[in-house]
Protein backbone atom coordinates (compact mmCIF):
# COMPACT_ATOMS: atom_id res chain seq x y z
CA UNK A 1 0.00 0.00 0.00
CA UNK A 2 2.75 2.42 0.91
CA UNK A 3 4.37 2.15 -2.52
CA UNK A 4 1.16 3.47 -4.10
CA UNK A 5 1.46 6.82 -2.31
CA UNK A 6 5.20 7.40 -1.85
CA UNK A 7 6.85 9.92 -4.18
CA UNK A 8 9.40 8.95 -6.82
CA UNK A 9 12.39 9.83 -4.62
CA UNK A 10 10.92 7.81 -1.71
CA UNK A 11 11.26 10.80 0.62
CA UNK A 12 7.72 11.27 1.88
CA UNK A 13 7.03 7.74 3.12
CA UNK A 14 7.34 8.77 6.77
CA UNK A 15 4.68 11.48 6.46
CA UNK A 16 2.13 9.22 4.77
CA UNK A 17 2.85 6.12 6.86
CA UNK A 18 0.34 6.95 9.66
CA UNK A 19 -2.46 7.40 7.12
CA UNK A 20 -1.66 4.20 5.26
CA UNK A 21 -1.37 2.32 8.56
CA UNK A 22 -4.76 3.63 9.68
CA UNK A 23 -6.33 2.61 6.36
CA UNK A 24 -4.83 -0.88 6.55
CA UNK A 25 -5.78 -1.46 10.20
CA UNK A 26 -9.37 -0.33 9.65
CA UNK A 27 -9.98 -2.28 6.43
CA UNK A 28 -11.70 -5.67 6.51
CA UNK A 29 -9.27 -8.36 5.34
CA UNK A 30 -10.51 -10.98 2.89
CA UNK A 31 -8.63 -13.79 4.63
CA UNK A 32 -9.84 -13.21 8.20
CA UNK A 33 -13.12 -11.44 7.51
CA UNK A 34 -12.20 -8.78 10.10
CA UNK A 35 -10.07 -5.66 10.29
CA UNK A 36 -6.76 -5.99 12.17
CA UNK A 37 -8.00 -3.34 14.63
CA UNK A 38 -11.13 -5.38 15.41
CA UNK A 39 -9.09 -8.54 16.02
CA UNK A 40 -6.87 -6.72 18.51
CA UNK A 41 -9.44 -4.53 20.28
CA UNK A 42 -12.76 -6.33 19.81
CA UNK A 43 -14.44 -3.27 18.32
CA UNK A 44 -14.30 -1.17 15.17
CA UNK A 45 -12.17 1.95 14.92
CA UNK A 46 -13.89 5.17 15.95
CA UNK A 47 -13.29 7.73 13.21
CA UNK A 48 -13.85 11.49 13.44
CA UNK A 49 -17.03 10.97 11.41
CA UNK A 50 -18.31 8.52 14.05
CA UNK A 51 -17.80 11.19 16.71
CA UNK A 52 -19.55 13.93 14.71
CA UNK A 53 -22.60 11.96 13.57
CA UNK A 54 -25.12 10.83 16.19
CA UNK A 55 -25.65 7.12 16.67
CA UNK A 56 -27.63 4.96 19.04
CA UNK A 57 -25.53 2.99 21.47
CA UNK A 58 -26.21 1.91 24.97
CA UNK A 59 -22.96 1.15 26.70
CA UNK A 60 -23.17 0.05 30.27
CA UNK A 61 -19.72 0.26 31.77
CA UNK A 62 -20.04 -2.98 33.72
CA UNK A 63 -20.86 -5.04 30.60
CA UNK A 64 -18.74 -3.14 28.08
CA UNK A 65 -15.37 -4.63 28.99
CA UNK A 66 -16.72 -8.17 29.13
CA UNK A 67 -18.45 -7.70 25.78
CA UNK A 68 -15.20 -6.45 24.25
CA UNK A 69 -13.30 -9.46 25.55
CA UNK A 70 -15.95 -11.89 24.34
CA UNK A 71 -16.26 -10.31 20.89
CA UNK A 72 -12.49 -10.14 20.43
CA UNK A 73 -12.03 -13.80 21.34
CA UNK A 74 -14.89 -14.91 19.09
CA UNK A 75 -13.47 -12.85 16.22
CA UNK A 76 -10.00 -14.34 16.70
CA UNK A 77 -11.37 -17.89 16.66
CA UNK A 78 -13.42 -17.16 13.55
CA UNK A 79 -10.42 -15.49 11.90
CA UNK A 80 -8.34 -18.64 12.54
CA UNK A 81 -10.98 -20.71 10.75
CA UNK A 82 -11.06 -18.24 7.84
CA UNK A 83 -7.26 -18.37 7.58
CA UNK A 84 -7.30 -22.17 7.46
CA UNK A 85 -9.92 -22.05 4.70
CA UNK A 86 -7.89 -19.48 2.74
CA UNK A 87 -4.74 -21.59 3.12
CA UNK A 88 -6.56 -24.65 1.78
CA UNK A 89 -7.78 -22.66 -1.23
CA UNK A 90 -4.26 -21.31 -1.86
CA UNK A 91 -2.78 -24.82 -1.65
CA UNK A 92 -5.35 -26.19 -4.08
CA UNK A 93 -4.66 -23.38 -6.56
CA UNK A 94 -0.90 -23.88 -6.25
CA UNK A 95 -1.16 -27.65 -6.67
CA UNK A 96 -3.28 -27.20 -9.82
CA UNK A 97 -0.55 -25.13 -11.52
CA UNK A 98 2.64 -26.58 -10.04
CA UNK A 99 4.84 -28.74 -12.22
CA UNK A 100 7.76 -30.60 -10.65
CA UNK A 101 11.18 -29.47 -11.89
CA UNK A 102 14.23 -31.70 -12.11
CA UNK A 103 17.61 -30.05 -12.50
CA UNK A 104 20.58 -31.78 -14.05
CA UNK A 105 24.25 -30.90 -13.81
CA UNK A 106 25.00 -28.34 -16.51
CA UNK A 107 21.47 -26.87 -16.66
CA UNK A 108 21.25 -23.08 -16.81
CA UNK A 109 19.35 -21.61 -13.86
CA UNK A 110 18.60 -18.24 -12.32
CA UNK A 111 20.21 -17.75 -8.89
CA UNK A 112 18.28 -15.95 -6.14
CA UNK A 113 20.65 -13.58 -4.35
CA UNK A 114 19.06 -11.21 -1.85
CA UNK A 115 20.85 -7.88 -2.03
CA UNK A 116 20.71 -5.14 0.55
CA UNK A 117 21.93 -1.68 -0.36
CA UNK A 118 21.82 1.14 2.15
CA UNK A 119 19.60 3.98 0.97
CA UNK A 120 17.79 2.02 -1.74
CA UNK A 121 14.42 0.33 -1.66
CA UNK A 122 14.90 -3.42 -1.61
CA UNK A 123 11.76 -3.88 -3.68
CA UNK A 124 13.40 -2.16 -6.64
CA UNK A 125 16.64 -4.18 -6.62
CA UNK A 126 17.32 -7.22 -8.83
CA UNK A 127 16.86 -10.45 -6.91
CA UNK A 128 17.79 -13.03 -9.52
CA UNK A 129 21.07 -13.24 -11.40
CA UNK A 130 21.96 -15.48 -14.27
CA UNK A 131 21.59 -17.60 -16.11
CA UNK A 132 24.27 -19.56 -14.27
CA UNK A 133 25.50 -23.11 -14.62
How do residues 98-117 score in pLDDT, each as one tens digit? 998 899 999 988 887 776 66
What is the 8-class DSSP label of residue 71?
H
State yes or no: pLDDT of 19 exceeds 90: yes
What is the helix (H) or strand (E) element at residue 26, kind and residue range? helix 13-26
Tell me the mean pLDDT in the region 18-41: 92
Distance in angstroms (rounded) separating the CA atoms of residues 116 and 30: 32
Quick one: pLDDT at residue 43?
Answer: 86
Burial of 38 (0-12, 13-18, 19+ CB in 10 A): buried
Dihedral sign (CA 88, 90, 92, 98)? negative
What is the share, in percent, of the chain residues with pLDDT greater than 70? 80
Query: Closest by alpha carbon to 38, among 62, 73, 86?
Result: 73
CA 130 – CA 132 distance, rounded (Å)? 5
pTM: 0.55
Helix/strand/coil percentages in the chain, nearest 5:
50, 5, 40
Query: Residue 94 — very low, low, confident or very high, per pLDDT cuts 50/70/90?
Result: very high
Does the structure show a pLDDT above 90 at 11?
A: no
pLDDT at 116: 64
Work out the widest C-alpha separation in the chain, in whole angstroms: 73
CA pair distance 3, 6, nearest whole angstrom: 5
pLDDT for the residue numbered 62 = 67
Averaged over 37-64, what is the pLDDT? 80
Q: What is the overall mean pLDDT for the chain?
A: 84
Amino acid sequence: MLSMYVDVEQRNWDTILPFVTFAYNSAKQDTTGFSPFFLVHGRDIVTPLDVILPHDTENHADNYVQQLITRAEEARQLAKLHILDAQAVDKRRYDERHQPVNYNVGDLVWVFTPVRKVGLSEKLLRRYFGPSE
